[in-house]
Amino acid sequence: MASDGNMANVNGRDTSSSAATLNGEPVVKRPRESPSRENLLRVPKEPKNKVTVVLGAQWGDEGKGKVVDLLAMDADIVCRCQGGNNAGHTVVVDSVEYDFHLLPSGVLNKKAVSFIGNGVVVHLPGLFGEAEKNLQKGKVFNFHQAVDGIQEQQRQQQEGKNLGTTKKGIGPAYSSKAARNGLRVCDLIADFNVFKDKFRMLAEHFQTMYPNLNVDIDGELEQLKIDAERLRPLVTDGVYFMHEALNGPSKKILVEGANAALLDIDFGTYPFVTSSNCTVGGVCTGLGVPPSYVGRVYGVVKAYTTRVGVGAFPTEQDNEIGDLLQSRGREFGVTTGRRRRCGWLDLILVRYAHMVNGFSAIALTKLDILDTLTEIKVGVAYTIDGEPLPSFPANMDVLMRVSVEYKTLPGWRCSTEAARSFEELPAKAQDYIRFIEDFLEVPVKWVGVGKSRESMIKLY
């Protein structure tokens, strides 16, 4: 019974003359609660700031640095979230060419903070060689680079092939991370005596695995002690740094992806891939950013396709077309200097990258390289043994055997380099762009027709 002698009826109204029961027990009216601050706090919060992400949509070398450079001009923070100095980005500002390998391309914006997240592996001599100021949480040692070279030689001897590694120590460094015997910058800047013991154990581990590996352990430790003092004031806790940036006052936060979707360790053309997640998921794991804080994701697509090293390449043109694309596009790797393999644009591949990353829009680069062609082919479907493939194959043996169905589009046979708006582009170049949009069902936001900032045409 209620304390005041009243009962509650089935409609929830108080009455002293009737009573409702449930299993023989009186039903007592529950007092209506007034809104409180405690209840209001349970409402999900919308993120104050979100990160904008720029990712490669092919096999790398798409021109991500140029897109990042454009967006970084207004950014407050520019981040790297994965990879190492195996990535190479080129930016041209005022006719001066800058090459970046570890630092975000946005470092050219003096007002922006350049942040290197926990997902990046860093070779400190390479980093200090690029710039004096950096923030970091991952570590590559000289013996990682030596091991990378030895592993590549062993693959060549044992299987007659290699993976096309850049020999920058990226794979061995990520292997150390996965084996949980790797060292991080937080180890380096803590008790150096403890770090020394861990370092010796790691170096000796690799020497046991590779007897021909020569490591000057004492020499490296001497240099690392100096590096630790240089690095100490530049290190912060990345999770708290990003949390404050995302939930504090309004900020523009840009994330620069390294490598590209088809080089992703999980979703790329395995095993001819890099050792990190180059897709949008790497932003969350490499910076400590919750998925709900990921905003627009821009995919960078070269107007044709290139690839460095070995591995399947369905639209490759090992002929005069490939030679023309290579020479006009100056297709040599920024990191390795190796000649890039060239071929027609493969939209099956780019559509697959979109499935994984969910691109908000596309930045189409190097359209001007196609200016001299009479006709341009675009890969639109794969077949194998005469049967259509419904999806991009995960099995590389299958990808090596596919035949490509092409759509042939007319070339525009004139220069696009002076164009600064979509309307100034030749009509057939406009048709090429619209065909890509229609196939991918993703809008093209920028079109590149040259090397400078000014040559990136913004469509909307």
CA 168, CA 84: separation in Å to the nearest integer? Answer: 8
Q: Percentage of residues in the chain with pLDDT exceeding 90?
A: 55
pLDDT tier, 19 (very low <50, low <70, confident <90, very high otherwise)? low
> Catalytic pick from 61, 227, 264, 346?
61
- Residue 412 confidence (pLDDT): 98
The whole-chain average pLDDT of the chain stands at 84
Strands 96-100 and 21-22 turn out to be unpaired
57 — alpha (psi -120 to 50), left (phi > 0) or beta?
alpha
Radius of gyration of the chain (CA): 28
User: pLDDT digits over 258-279, tens only?
Assistant: 899 999 999 999 999 998 999 9
Whether the pLDDT of residue 166 is over 90: the answer is no
Sorted by where each starts, the structural domains of the chain and their CATH numbers stand as 51-139+233-458 (3.90.170.10), 143-232 (1.10.300.10)
User: pLDDT digits over 228-238, tens only?
Assistant: 998 888 889 99
168 labelled ligand-binding: no
> Catalytic pick from 139, 177, 302, 377?
177
pLDDT tier, 140 (very low <50, low <70, confident <90, very high otherwise)? very low
Whether the pLDDT of residue 24 is over 70: the answer is no
89 labelled ligand-binding: yes
24 labelled ligand-binding: no
338 labelled ligand-binding: yes
Beta bridge partners of 100: 89
- Distance set, CA 426 to CA 3, 129, 361, 378, 433 (Å): 85, 43, 22, 18, 11
Q: In the chain, count H helices and then E strands.
A: 14, 20
> Catalytic pick from 69, 89, 148, 168?
89
62 labelled ligand-binding: yes
CA 356, CA 324: separation in Å to the nearest integer? Answer: 32
Neighbours of 197 (CB within 10 A): 11
User: In the annotation, is 177 catalytic?
Assistant: yes
User: pLDDT digits over 321-373, tens only?
Assistant: 999 999 999 998 766 677 899 999 999 999 999 999 999 999 999 999 999 99
* DSSP secondary structure letters along 54-78: EEESSSS-S-HHHHHHHHHTT-SEE
User: pLDDT digits over 293-307, tens only?
Assistant: 999 999 999 999 999
Whether the pLDDT of residue 41 is over 70: the answer is no
412 — alpha (psi -120 to 50), left (phi > 0) or beta?
alpha
312 labelled ligand-binding: no
User: In the annotation, is 225 catalytic?
Assistant: no
86 labelled ligand-binding: yes
Mean pLDDT along residues 366-394 = 97
334 labelled ligand-binding: yes
User: In the annotation, is 243 catalytic?
Assistant: no
Neighbours of 439 (CB within 10 A): 16
Whether the pLDDT of residue 251 is over 90: the answer is yes
Comparing 184-188, 252-256, 354-358, the range with the smallest average pLDDT is 184-188
101 vs 334, residue with greater confidence: 101
Beta bridge partners of 404: 382
